[in-house]
Structure formats: C-alpha cells, structure tokens
Amino acid sequence: MSLRIAFQMDPMEGLNIASDSTFALMLSAQARGYSCFHYLAPDLTWTGKRLVAHAHPVKAWRDAGKHFEFDAPLRLDLGSDVDVVWMRQDPPFDLGYITATHLLERIQHETLVLNDPANVRNAPEKLFVLDYARFMPPTMITRSIDEARGFLAEHGEIVVKPLHGNGGKAIFKVGSDGANLSSLIEVFNAAYVEPHMIQAFLPSVVAGDKRIVLVDGVVAGAVNRIPGEGEIRSNLAVGGKAAKTELSAREIEICEALGPELKRRGLLFVGIDVIGGEWLTEINVTSPTGIVAIDRFNGTDTAAVIWEAVEARLADRN
C-alpha cells in the first residue's frame, strides 16, 4: 500500500533521533514506500472550506545532525492530498494544541487523523486515567494548600506535579514533615491556572516506572525506566535508564481493562505508565514515546506494527 502521511510534529532540527518515536515512525513509513510530509501546528490554516498546511516533503535517515532533508514547501490540503495525519507534536497541552484538535476534526470524514483529535482533547494524560482509579495510587487534584496538607498527613510522603506536564518536568517529592509543601503549592498556583496532581509517593519507583505501549488496544511492548542516582523521576528525557522487562499479572489486567476503550476512541498509539508492576499513573495519548527502547531490548519492530494497524484502519474506512 502506498500512502501519503502528514506529520504534525515538532521541528525536525531538534529531534533526538536515537530515541524519538516520531522519527522512528517516519523512517518506517519511508521503508514501506510511503511519502512523508512535515509541518508544525501553527502552519495550519482553515480557509473557510478546507484545512491546509504549509508543509515540506521530507526524507529522513539516521545521521545525527544531518538526519533529514526538506523539498520545496507546498500548500497541502489535509483533506484531499494525504491519507493520514499524525498529530505528534509534544505537549504542553495548551490552547494551541486544543485548537489544532478542533481543526483536524473537520477533515476526519476524508482523512484518517491519529490519534483521534476529539479523543486526544477529551483524554488528557492525568485526567483520562481517573476513569481507572481502581488501578491508581491514592490521588488528589487540587489547588488547595489545606487539602494538600491533609493528603500529606494521610499518606506520609507525596509527589506533586503539574496536571498537564510532560517528560518528567516539575515533579516534586514532599517528605512527611511537609516543610516546603505550602511554598510549593503557592508556586504551582502562580505558575498554572489549573489544579495540580498530588499522589502518594510510591517507594517502588526506585525499581522503575514501566512504559507499556498499546497499539489499537493491544500490548505491543514495554520498557522499564529506572531513575538515575538521587532521582525519583524515571523519564528517559530526564536521565532515566531503560531496561528490558516483562509484564506482571497486574499490568496485563490493566492493559486488558484499557484496551477496548482505547480502540473504541481511536487512540491507536498509546503509552501507559505503571509503577511497581501495579500502579497506573498516566495514559499518554498526545505524543507517546518509548518504541525505540522497546525495540532495542526486544528485537521487535513496533513502528511496523503501528503502520499495519494504520493500514487496517484505512481498509475499514473504504
């Protein structure tokens, strides 16, 4: 099958080609004979009738610093000129991101948009997961210092993080004395208009925070992310170390609970995070990562699995 794929993503210049999942998808697409295009979310234009993007045809290869080449830019009609639009820019999940989902919804009757833009908008990573609270550690979402103090008193040690953060940024552990909790909540309240996520600290995070990738609701692979020395954060973007892993019985149960709903929502490529083999903390649907590390440890080709799922989706539409 010959497809035309438009990637709405971050600038090509800044990609870490050794680990970037979108870059891996692009390379795999080229290997399958697909044509690829690159544009940024601000390049979208709604003309009153059509959604267009000022995009570049792109070729990519694994050569750090010289990993892509653009052809001359063109005005791409995302409804009629391509088969698939991949919404793969990194958060923040701000009004620009939300606006892009609204615009991309307008072409869904013509073009397959992944992940489904309405469901990306309606499933922020740290809010969608509340639908599966039975698998989560004790969790509070609040801006209230008094509520946060009560939660700390109940659970002893806690973690405070932005509700719409990503990549392990601005995650803080607060000890049982709560010495800095009030100041931290004050800083968060000044920095963010939304409430914040507070969770009981899980000591088992020292053994790793597992990223499990599901493709169209089915597990495609997993990698364990182990915090660096002196860290509680295990994200690879902040120095976590990847390690080979297997799924626990509890993790299999979690995936079986989530899978059908992810497929129903058109969330084709999803990464969930599970600590200690049992505690679900996030369901990542905006621009999940991890497939490069998974394939390195398991000898798999997750990008190919994703493209096969895409082709199956397209066949169902015809």
Q: What is the mean pLDDT of each run of 10 residues along the chain (318 residues)?
A: 94 95 98 98 96 98 95 98 96 89 97 97 93 98 98 97 82 94 97 96 90 98 84 62 93 98 98 96 94 96 98 93
Q: How far apart are CA 19 and CA 235, in angstroms?
A: 12
Query: Alpha helix locations (H) across the chain?
Result: 21-31, 95-105, 117-121, 125-128, 145-155, 181-191, 249-264, 291-298, 302-317
**pLDDT given for residue 197 in this prediction:** 96
Closest CA to 85 of 117, 47, 49: 117
**pLDDT given for residue 208 in this prediction:** 87
**pLDDT given for residue 213 in this prediction:** 98
Q: List active site positions.
A: 126, 161, 211, 225, 233, 273, 282, 284
**pLDDT given for residue 164 in this prediction:** 85
How would DSSP label each residue in 87-154? E-PPPP--HHHHHHHHHHHTTTTTSEEES-HHHHHT--HHHHGGGGGGGSPSEEEE--HHHHHHHHHH
Kindly report the pTM of this predicted structure: 0.93
